[in-house]
């Protein structure tokens, strides 16, 4: 090893490979059969269960947990996958602490919910290890649907459409399908190439033809898609990144957190991935947390996450904040960057302290930095002629856009929470509506 956490600048190999391997191992190791039995035992099988209500894909959680408890995790997986074909990924990345597990009545009873997420992973892992995806296609309908974007929304939509007997042309701008599952989630949440394995498993249903390197505005046009297919679904995510709009944002060492995470996810040798000695992450969402924690795990000496409002206003959950703190990330709230300082390479970031409305208080401080990761939100890329609302494609409850024959869902559309699980719900529901509309029912 040539470098250490204290080596100045942005360099690779700050930690020996065994330490890196350990740092990026599964955040929550899977439950074994005994642990799953004990965890499943705690479910009360609530009537009209609040957890199910809190799940954006409305999985029948009490039923799948009972199926685990009675020794049929494969049946449990079917219960999950019927509603959420990406149930395996959602089991890993869902912020369960603000969804199903927050609603669990055990929270009221003793402040300790049933481990729904980990039980879901136990069920889906069991089924996925046993073989191909279990759904069969209906008789061919002769209809073809274009699905743009092979992220969670597009994949859920494509699978459901294929199941109903439609042919799906699936397009994605990146070299690999999976969207943020593949490029945008902290790697310790989805180890061993799970995102890619899940996509391959899902595509096993057949009838989905994938074209990569194809995006709206480059090789695809909305008009052309509408003309060539019976319906179009857009699950194109948020391609743009918000700017800091301050001096020094162009200095070397300043980059988007999403790119940092994507590089990390695609790296096959973490010891070759450069990271700063002193890293400043700006933002308060999941991307900010994922970037900050991973910078620390790569061996940065100091990682500071700075957010312009109070902790409670952070889009990242309390659980995620605590995770970051536990990994050694320092979180500073109520501060906004004023200027990034440096000659060619970033050297420091000047901050204003801010009030609850993110307005400068007049006081401030400076953090030394050799790497700055921006995570202040993403924005919609090319949405062609579609009507937008609040910077997202406006959709109805079943995903219809302002243009007939075009549906949309996931992060690019209104009504989601920028979560994998809401994207899956969008894609699934749009597919059902497309199917109903194509079959004239």
Q: Nearer Cβ to other proteins, position 22 or 108? A: 108
- Indicate whether 37 belongs to the interface with other proteins (CB under 8 A): yes
**How far is it, in rounded angstroms, from Cα 65 to Cα 342?**
55
Q: Nearer Cβ to other proteins, position 41 or 228? A: 41
Among 2, 18, 32, 48, binds other proteins (CB under 8 A): 48
CB of 109 to other proteins, least distance (A): 5
- Indicate whether 33 belongs to the interface with other proteins (CB under 8 A): no
Nearest to 334 by CA among 312, 306, 315: 306
- In the shown chain, the binding pattern of residues 146 to 165 toward other proteins, with x for contact by CB under 8 A and - for none, equals --------------------
- Indicate whether 41 belongs to the interface with other proteins (CB under 8 A): yes
CB of 74 to other proteins, least distance (A): 16
Q: Nearer Cβ to other proteins, position 47 or 250? A: 47
CB of 39 to other proteins, least distance (A): 10
- Only one of the segments 39-47, 170-178, 229-237, 385-393 lies at the binding site for other proteins (rule: CB under 8 A); that segment is 39-47
Query: Which residues 6+ apart lie within 8 Å of 112 measured at CB?
Result: 106
Q: Nearer Cβ to other proteins, position 41 or 193? A: 41
List phi, psi (to 5°) of 218. Answer: -105, -85
Among 46, 262, 341, 358, binds other proteins (CB under 8 A): 46
Among 7, 30, 106, 382, binds other proteins (CB under 8 A): 106
Q: Nearer Cβ to other proteins, position 103 or 306? A: 103
Among 19, 63, 75, 105, binds other proteins (CB under 8 A): 105
* Contact predicate 281/260, CB 8 Å: no
CB of 46 to other proteins, least distance (A): 4
* Contact predicate 138/163, CB 8 Å: yes
- Indicate whether 75 belongs to the interface with other proteins (CB under 8 A): no
Longest dimension (CA), the chain: 68
Among 5, 30, 50, 415, binds other proteins (CB under 8 A): 50
- Indicate whether 249 belongs to the interface with other proteins (CB under 8 A): no
- Only one of the segments 45-53, 134-142, 231-239, 285-293 lies at the binding site for other proteins (rule: CB under 8 A); that segment is 45-53
* Contact predicate 86/181, CB 8 Å: yes
- In the shown chain, the binding pattern of residues 108 to 147 toward other proteins, with x for contact by CB under 8 A and - for none, equals xx--------------------------------------
Among 2, 18, 32, 47, binds other proteins (CB under 8 A): 47
Q: Nearer Cβ to other proteins, position 11 or 37? A: 37
Written in H, E and C, the secondary structure of the chain is CCCCCCCCCEECCCCCHHHHHHHCCCCCCCCCHHHHHHHHHCCCCCCCCHHHHHCCCCCCHHHHHHHHHCCCHHHHHHHHHHHCCCHHHHHHHCCHHHCHHHHCHHHHHHCCCCCHHHHHHHHHHHHHHHCCCCCCCCCCCCCEEEEECCCHHHHHHHHHHHHCCCEEEEEECCCCCCCHHHHCCCHHHCCCCHHHHHHHHHHCCCCEEEEECCCECCCECHHHHHHHCCEEEECCCCCEECCCCCECCCCECEEEHHHHHHHHHHCCCHHHCCEECEEEEECCCHHHHHHHHHHHHHCCCEEEEECCCCHHHCCCCHHHHHHHHHCCCEEECCEEEEEEEECCEEEEEEEEEECCCCCEEEEEEEEECCEEEECCCEECCCCCCCCEECCEECCCCCCECCCCCEEECHHHECCCCCCHHHHHHHHHHHHHHHHHHHCCC
**Of residues 343-402, those binding other proteins (CB under 8 A):** none
- Only one of the segments 34-42, 255-263, 357-365, 423-431 lies at the binding site for other proteins (rule: CB under 8 A); that segment is 34-42
- Only one of the segments 20-28, 46-54, 112-120, 204-212 lies at the binding site for other proteins (rule: CB under 8 A); that segment is 46-54
- # chain residues binding other proteins, by CB under 8 A: 14
- Only one of the segments 40-48, 196-204, 284-292, 404-412 lies at the binding site for other proteins (rule: CB under 8 A); that segment is 40-48
Q: Nearer Cβ to other proteins, position 17 or 71? A: 71
**How far is it, in rounded angstroms, from Cα 40 to Cα 57?**
20
- Only one of the segments 6-14, 79-87, 104-112, 310-318 lies at the binding site for other proteins (rule: CB under 8 A); that segment is 104-112
Contact set with other proteins (CB under 8 A): 37-38, 41, 44-50, 105-106, 108-109
């Amino acid at each position: 090893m040539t470098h250490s956490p204290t080596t100045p600048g942005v360099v690779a190999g700050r930690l020996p490979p065994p330490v890196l391997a350990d740092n990026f191992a599964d955040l929550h190791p899977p439950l074994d059969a005994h642990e799953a039995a004990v965890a499943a035992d705690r479910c009360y099988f609530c009537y009209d269960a609040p957890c199910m209500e809190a799940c954006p894909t409305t999985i029948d959680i009490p039923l799948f947990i009972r199926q685990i408890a009675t020794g049929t995790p494969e049946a449990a997986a079917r219960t999950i996958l019927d509603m959420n074909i990406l149930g395996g990924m959602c089991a890993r990345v869902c912020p369960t602490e603000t969804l199903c597990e927050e609603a669990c009545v055990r929270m009221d009873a003793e402040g300790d919910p049933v481990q729904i997420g980990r039980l879901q992973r136990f069920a889906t892992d069991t089924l996925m290890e046993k073989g191909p995806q279990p759904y069969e296609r209906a008789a061919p309908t002769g209809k073809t649907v274009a699905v743009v974007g092979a992220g969670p929304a597009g994949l859920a939509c494509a699978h459901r459409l294929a199941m109903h007997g439609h042919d799906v042309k699936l397009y994605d701008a990146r070299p690999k399908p999976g969207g943020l599952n593949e490029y945008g989630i902290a790697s310790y949440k989805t180890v061993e190439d799970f995102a890619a394995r899940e996509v391959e498993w899902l595509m096993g249903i057949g009838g989905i033809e994938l074209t990569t390197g194809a995006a709206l505005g480059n090789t695809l046009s909305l008009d052309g898609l509408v003309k060539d297919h019976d319906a179009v679904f857009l699950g194109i995510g948020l391609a743009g990144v918000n700017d800091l709009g301050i001096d020094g944002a162009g200095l070397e060492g300043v980059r988007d957190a999403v790119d940092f995470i994507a590089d990390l996810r695609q790296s096959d040798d973490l010891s070759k991935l450069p990271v700063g000695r002193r890293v400043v992450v700006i933002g308060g969402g999941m991307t900010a947390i994922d970037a900050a924690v991973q910078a620390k795990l790569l061996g940065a000496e100091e990682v500071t996450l700075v957010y312009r409002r109070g902790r409670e206003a952070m889009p990242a959950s309390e659980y995620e904040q605590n995770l970051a703190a536990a990994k050694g990330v320092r979180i500073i709230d109520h501060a906004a960057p004023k200027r990034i300082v440096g000659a060619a390479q970033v050297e420091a970031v000047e901050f204003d302290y801010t009030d609850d409305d993110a307005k400068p208080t007049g006081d401030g401080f400076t953090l030394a930095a050799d790497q700055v990761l921006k995570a202040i939100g993403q924005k919609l890329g090319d949405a062609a002629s579609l009507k937008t609302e609040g910077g997202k494609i406006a959709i109805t409850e079943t995903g219809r856009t302002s243009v007939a024959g075009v549906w949309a869902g996931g992060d690019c559309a209104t009504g989601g929470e920028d979560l994998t699980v809401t994207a899956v719900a969008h894609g699934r529901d749009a597919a059902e509506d497309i199917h109903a509309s194509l079959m004239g029912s």
